[in-house]
Amino acid sequence: MRMPLSDIHIFYQPPSHGWLTISILIDGETVEIDASAVPNNPVEDLLVALDLAANGVPSSVWWHLEPDGYFMYFTPNGKEIQFKLVFAIESDRACGREVVETRGNAAQVLVPFWRFVREFQSHDFQEPHWPLTDYKRILAVKDDIRLSRGKS
């Protein structure tokens, strides 16, 4: 079954003491994630995942809920990118349950997540609320996403 092209929007509340609440609106369905910055920084991992996906490499991000977790999967296939959000009890990927799936081109799937990271960066959140995040590749990732639109 072919999924419709995506319509993705991401909202968040400012992080507090290592916790970040994001709401992802995908094709009219909202998923709220209360993620921890331990043991990984999912915002930084998201930037890496976007870069990989823009370059044709499947990638994922773990949003740890302590102990459960959400996993975002970005799977490129030609000009199209599949996005899948999976919830996993005890953060066990093998036993995860798909929450939402959509697909579209890089602009439809990757750009909304890139904009979220860029907007998050603009607030320069600091410890103890959120760990330092390495954003030095953010503009290169934007260029990679732009270039991926022309790849087949």
pLDDT band at 113 (very low <50, low <70, confident <90, very high): very high
Residue 77 carries which side chain, given as an amino acid letter? N
- The total number of structural domains that make up the chain: 1
Question: Does pLDDT of 22 surpass 80?
Answer: yes
Q: What's the whole-model pTM score? A: 0.92
Cα–Cα separations (whole angstroms), residue 112 to 1, 76, 107, 129: 24, 16, 8, 24
Question: Does pLDDT of 4 surpass 70?
Answer: no
Mean pLDDT of 33-50: 97
Q: Two tokens at 4?
A: 């419709």
The predicted pLDDT at position 3 comes to: 45
Q: Tokens 């709401």 — which residue?
A: 23
Question: Does pLDDT of 108 surpass 90?
Answer: yes
Question: Does pLDDT of 151 surpass 70?
Answer: no
Would 24 be classed as within a structural domain?
yes
pLDDT tens digits, one per residue of 53-79 = 999 999 999 999 999 999 999 999 988
Would 1 be classed as within a structural domain?
no
Kindly state the greatest CA–CA separation across the chain: 45
Q: Which domain holds residue 14?
A: 8-146
Would 152 be classed as within a structural domain?
no
Q: What is the CATH classification number for the domain harbouring 22?
A: 3.30.2450
Q: Two tokens at 81?
A: 């990118």
Would 81 be classed as within a structural domain?
yes
pLDDT band at 149 (very low <50, low <70, confident <90, very high): low
The predicted pLDDT at position 7 comes to: 86
Residue 108 carries which side chain, given as an amino acid letter? Q
